[in-house]
Homo-oligomer: A and B are copies of this chain.
Amino acid sequence: MPQNRPPVTLLTDFDDFYVSAMRGAVSSVTDAPVHDIFHRVPPQDVRAGAFILRNVAPYYPDGTVHCVVVDPGVGTERRSLVVEAGDQFLVGPDNGVLVPVARELAGKDEPRYYDAPYDEPESHTFHGRDVFAPQAGRVAEEGIGAIAGERVEPVTLNIDAPNFDATDDGYVAHADVVYIDRFGNSVTNLSGEDVLRVTEYGATLEVDGHTLPFERTYASVAEGEPLALIGSHGNLELAAREARGADALDLSAGDEVVVSVEVSKDTKEN
């Protein structure tokens, strides 16, 4: 099953016809197929963009070039970066949005970040079309050398919550809601692995005063009931079966949530 033409993907917060000019700009320099990752990233939400790409990029084939435009700094002096991470490539602004996915794809290796110099384009407001899309197309067609300048240190970004802290009767973590999906599932930045280190399926979690069953699947609770589970993205998710967990728990994107786990031997003290 040879992959002769890995795709160029696009991830933006444009959610409008502007994206199609990027598709055209890519297809003007390469026959590689153009895939949409997502274009409804909340406007200028660099952390949500970083979270989304880190989640989906690992499912793409070697050689894929991901072009990311969540770019509050458009029109300023911020750099364009091209990154080699694992066997995939990333192109986008130097604002941290590429860092979490680069680390994920590189695994035990270090991702390599390069400056990708460009001439100030015709538009001061649409570097997606005039800078990043053509750069991504050239990487797909000619390789990273076509646009990579000197190796640089990127603006960094950490999107993950710190681990749980031990308390008198269990553990507590301070997490954020990084994304609320169309089902109203509230995705936190707390790694599911971290949660499983301090508790197990079938236990309950305290989340901002709500007591939630921690289950494997939505189907484990009655219709409309809230629950906590590890979503397909690998993070703790606060949801409700066939209902909007964000509404049931009164959560918005960006909210901090305090997640507590009691350790069973201490529950009598409650």
Contact = CB atoms under 8 A, between A and B. Distances in A.
A168 to B, nearest CB: 33
The oligomer's copy count stands at: 3
Interface string A1-23: 11111110100001111101111
A27 B7 contact: yes
A75 B229 CA distance: 12
B75 A129 contact: no
Interface string A41-60: 00110000000100111111
A122 to B, nearest CB: 9
B9 A20 contact: yes
B75 A216 contact: yes
A56 B9 CA distance: 18
A37 B59 contact: no
A182 B216 contact: no
Contacts of A130: 232
B219 A75 contact: yes
Given A56-B21, A242-B44, A33 B29 contact: no
A210 interface: no
A259 B183 CA distance: 34
Interface of A is mostly: loop
Contact of A17 (B6, B16, B55, B218): B55
Which one of A33, A59, A231 has the greatest number of beta carbons of chain B within 10 Å? A59
Contacts of A56: 17-18, 20-21, 24
A7 B229 CA distance: 34
Given A124-B216, A216-B75, A20 B34 contact: no
Nearest to A220: B75
A25 interface: yes
Contacts of A25: 59
A20 B1 contact: no
A3 to B, nearest CB: 6
Contacts of A5: 31
Interface of A: 1-7, 9, 14-18, 20-25, 27-31, 33-38, 40, 43-44, 52, 55-61, 64, 73-76, 123-126, 129-130, 141-142, 181-183, 216-219, 229, 231-232, 242
